[in-house]
Amino acid sequence: AAAEKGGWPSFMKKEVSEQPEAVAKTILGRLHDGSVVIPELEAFGDTALQGIRRITVVACGTAAYAGLVAKYAIEKWARVPVEIELSHEFRYREPVLDDTTLVISISQSGETMDTLMAVKYARANGAKAISICNTQGSTIPRESDAVIYTHAGPEVAVASTKAFVAQITALYLFGLHLARVRGTLSAAELAVEAEQLQAVPDKIAEVLEQAEKVEQLARWMADTRSVLFLGRHVGFPIALEGALKLKELAYIHAEGFAAGELKHGPIALIEPGQPVFVVVPSPRGSAELHSKVVSNIQEIRARGARVIAIAEVGDAAVLPFADEVLRIPLAAPLYEPLLAVVPLQIFAMELATAKGLDVDQPRNLAKSVTVE
Ligand code: G6P
């Protein structure tokens, strides 16, 4: 096993460090002259994609949060309504399906039983199914009309990391393919997005270079009993994923919230010393969203929260109110999740390590849940 880890102390640390390649390899062969063409969708047919009226994403765990991120991008680019549903909830509520509904399943393993059953149910009820999967020849792709493989390479650690960024990448590629086929983005707009996506691997590598600061923070916080995560827009699913990683790896009570919900409940949890990670949207992407999140930070800070901001390089507005600032490189808003998730993964992994826990094999969890 030591050899398989290639000198890394854990599979998870290795896999977190492989995220630039996971994204790059997932893009490979799918960008042509500034446009996205996914060869695997040829069999599916452009006419079928043009006829889609809505998309339902089914997935569990981290994969479901990848779907939640992609909703923002796919709706913006392809102008198709997208809903995300946990596979086990989808199946047992008689969802409305017909041949204009596209069901996209997301599964690293391709074997999650609830997701498999959701796909079967969807197809039996007239919907088309595309799967996003990291495991060649697994069951869910075989039960789907088409598959877009993520090329993250084998993921061994139980909690998902590199598969997550590869899933978002594959979904973005799908969104751009769909936008091209449906004519909702111009060639120039598609080229801008393609360029942004291609720049992601190097930017993730930049985030990884600053791991030490996050690791130190995690070690300082090893006794923490509860951590909250706030985000808005695409930062919201990242807050959920940050909390999930901390629960899975460090067995710490953690919750992610949409920053806009603060006043509707979560703010009651804030007491002096409560650590809160805040994913801060880029002020260049949206001055409005940025200032809303900054005022959320002020609100929780005024109640004694210990604020750890994840903000883009050069964002000075957060400095007066944050106890710690973790920086991510400049990127258009939709690409920020692929960067902002990395410090949260490292934080959870390092805090678990500081507690002496096995990050690759957390208690009670399985890599792939093949029972219902
Ligand atoms: C398990 C794993 C998670 C994973 C989820 C979905 O709970 O511990 O890391 O996100 O299953 O797995 P899948 O293979 O369908 O992506």
How far is residue 81's CA from residue 58's CA, in Å, rounded to a whole number? 14
- Whole-model pTM: value is 0.97
Residue 257, φ and ψ in degrees, nearest 5:
-135, 155
Nearest atom in ligand 1 to 159's CA: 9
Q: Which of 57, 140, 160 to mutate to test the pocket of ligand 1 (most atoms within 8 A of CB)?
A: 160
Residue 344 Cα to ligand 1 middle (Å): 18
Helix axes 336-354, 187-209, angle to 10 degrees: 20
Do 190 and 34 touch, CB atoms closer than 8 A?
yes
Rounded Cα gap, residues 123 and 139, in angstroms? 15
Token pair of 312, please? Answer: 């883009």
Q: How many CA atoms, within 13 angstroms, populate the side-chain half-sphere of residue 8?
A: 16
Q: Atom 7, ligand 1: which residue's CA is nearest?
A: 61
Our answer on whether the CB atom of 365 is closer than 6 Å to any ligand 1 atom is yes
pLDDT for position 1: 65
CA of 366 to the centre of ligand 1 (A): 8
Please answer whether residues 250 and 259 qualify as being in contact, where contact means their C-beta atoms are separated by less than 8 angstroms: no
Is the CB of 109 inside a 6 Å radius of any atom of ligand 1? Answer: yes
| Residue written as token pair 């889609």 | 52
- Sequence-ordered alpha helix ranges (H) in the chain: 11-17, 19-27, 46-50, 62-78, 87-90, 113-124, 139-142, 162-182, 187-209, 211-220, 235-250, 287-302, 336-354
pLDDT at 347: 98
Q: What is the CA radius of gyration of the chain?
A: 20
Instruction: Report how far apart, in Å, the C-alpha atoms of 126 and of each of 41, 102, 139, 308 are.
Output: 19, 10, 20, 47
pLDDT per residue, tens digit, the chain (372 aa), is 677 888 999 999 999 999 999 999 999 999 988 899 999 998 888 999 999 999 999 999 999 999 999 999 999 999 999 999 999 999 999 999 999 999 999 999 999 999 999 999 999 999 999 999 999 999 999 999 999 999 999 999 999 999 999 999 999 999 999 999 999 999 999 999 999 999 999 999 999 999 999 999 999 999 999 999 999 999 999 999 999 999 999 999 999 999 999 999 999 999 999 999 999 999 998 999 999 999 999 999 999 999 999 999 999 999 999 999 999 999 999 999 999 999 999 999 999 999 999 999 999 999 999 988
Interaxial angle between packed helices 235-250 and 62-78, expressed in degrees from 0 to 180 and rounded to the nearest 10: 170
Tokens of 244: 């999930």
